A and B are shown apart, each in its own frame.
Chain A
Amino acid sequence: MIRTNNRKPLVSASEVGMAAFCGRAVYLKRTKAEVSRKAVERMSHGHARHEDLNSLVKNDQRCFVASYLYGMDDQRTYRLRAWRDQRLKVTKVGRMLVNVYYKLSPVLVELCKRHPKVEQTATLILDWLSLRIEEIMLRKDK
């Protein structure tokens, strides 16, 4: 157990929140009592949602074009994000490309907003890219 200098145990924010819900639950957590399966599933769902929101909040800062064209929760947006995180960000060149893209994306989004032709072209390119990624992923799964 982590302790402070004056021999008081450190308590975490989640434990303090839990104490406001039920003090006994914190005691059971500290004594490593068994958690119900349903609660474990809920926690796992919560972690997944947190990760989704993390990418959403980060992308918000950089005006991701796919999020603008397809929406935040579209399957194609998820696919492109996965491609960015799993394929591009693992190489140095890929990371450079992602950084350059992040710098350009606010301008691209602005252009898409102003000129429907640019939006159509960008959608076509992203549709093609999304399909190619799906093909590659399917091939990899096989």
Chain B
Amino acid sequence: MNYTNELLLLVTVIVALFLYLRRFKETTFGFSGRLIWYDSGVKIQPFKHSQYGVIGKPDYLFKVGWNTYAAVEYKSRRGPVYFSDIVQAKCAALAARGNKFNISFLIVQTEVDRIKVDLPNSDSALYDEISVWVELARRAALRDGTIEKTSYIARCRGCGYKNVCQ
């Protein structure tokens, strides 16, 4: 007996079911995607981009298209997204790109605010956007005591090191 038609039908059903189960759904962060990775604690190894010497973990990575991903950085504060949050998220995205995750955009979210940031296609362009802060962090990592505190006094108020600072 020839079961070719039945077999084709079965394969079609299985493929349709597979595609249906793997479709992108609406996420908590206002875009469609599928969660593929999340930072569940200190035991999770960070991503590393050896060329630029940065490591980092976005809070969540979602697949949003064919070989394209979105990274989410969540801050638990009840306040706006700060520039430093975006810099941190960009650096974590650069580190994830070192592990072949082609991050195309970022979501930075607080309890009351959410910002979407589109990223440049090349890693070097992304690095250029944050290079000033990476170099400053590197100087600090080399224990450069000449690094001055910020000139924005308001930032000192919320800083955890204000008691031991200059």
Asked if B141 contacts A23 (CB within 8 A), the reply is no
- Within 8 Å of chain A (Cβ to Cβ): is B38? yes
Q: A26-B140, A39-B160 are in contact. Are A16 and B87 (CB under 8 A)?
A: yes
Cβ–Cβ < 8 Å partners of B60 in chain A? 57
Q: Which of A13, A19, A38, A61 contacts B35 (CB 8 A)?
A: A61
Cβ–Cβ < 8 Å partners of A45 in chain B? 76
Cβ–Cβ < 8 Å partners of A138 in chain B? none
Asked if B161 contacts A16 (CB within 8 A), the reply is no
A-B contact number at CB 8 A = 171
Asked if B143 contacts A24 (CB within 8 A), the reply is no
Q: Which of A6, A35, A58, A60 contacts B161 (CB 8 A)?
A: A35
What's the tally of chain B residues with a CB closer than 8 Å to chain A? 59
Cβ–Cβ < 8 Å partners of B92 in chain A? 13
Asked if A14 contacts B56 (CB within 8 A), the reply is yes
A9→B83 CA distance, assembly (Å): 24
Q: Which of B25, B34, B55, B145 contacts A27 (CB 8 A)?
A: B145
- Within 8 Å of chain A (Cβ to Cβ): is B19? no
Asked if A13 contacts B88 (CB within 8 A), the reply is yes
- Within 8 Å of chain B (Cβ to Cβ): is A15? yes
Interface of B toward A, CB cutoff 8 Å: 25, 27-28, 34-35, 38-40, 46, 48, 50, 53-57, 59-60, 74-77, 82-85, 87-89, 91-92, 95, 130, 133-134, 136-145, 147-150, 155-156, 159-166
Interface of A toward B, CB cutoff 8 Å: 1-2, 4-6, 8-31, 33-36, 38-40, 42, 45-46, 49-50, 53-54, 56-58, 60-61
